[in-house]
């Protein structure tokens, strides 16, 4: 996927909101700690893995995602 940084970031937010099954990210930033996201749980982690595979042709494992402490670190996983 060849997107500029701002387009990639917007695509990530669309993807992330889909994973979380929420419509509005007004309170979320790249600095938001994952532990502070009420909707984040083990099922969302699995959804993140599966949808990242489909959307970005990435094969992430659970430990890579669990190591991420912020939304920005998740963004860097899918934008690498």
Please give the residue range of the domain that contains residue 31: 5-79
In the chain, the number of structural domains is 1
Instruction: With a cut of 90, say whether residue 2 has pLDDT above it.
Output: no
Return the half-sphere exposure (C-beta side, CA atoms, 13 A cut-off) of residue 74: 28
Task: Give Dmax (Cα) for the chain.
Answer: 32
pLDDT at 36 over 50: yes
What is the rounded CA–CA span in Å between residue 31 and residue 7?
18
Per the model's pLDDT, the better-predicted residue between 23 and 77 turns out to be 77
User: 62-76 pLDDT, tens per residue?
Assistant: 899 999 999 999 999
At residue 1, does pLDDT exceed 50?
Answer: no
List of residues 6+ apart from 54 with CB closer than 8 A: none
CATH number of 71's domain: 1.10.1200.10
Mean pLDDT of 15-35: 91
Global pTM? 0.87
pLDDT at residue 70, rounded to an integer: 98
């Amino acid at each position: 996927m060849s997107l500029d940084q701002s387009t990639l970031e917007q695509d990530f937010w669309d993807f992330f909101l889909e994973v979380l099954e929420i419509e509005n990210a007004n309170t979320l930033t790249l600095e938001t700690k994952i532990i502070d996201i009420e909707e984040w749980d083990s099922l969302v982690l699995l959804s993140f893995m599966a949808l990242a595979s489909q959307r970005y042709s990435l094969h992430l494992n659970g430990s890579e995602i669990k190591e991420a402490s912020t939304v920005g670190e998740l963004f860097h996983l899918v934008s690498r």
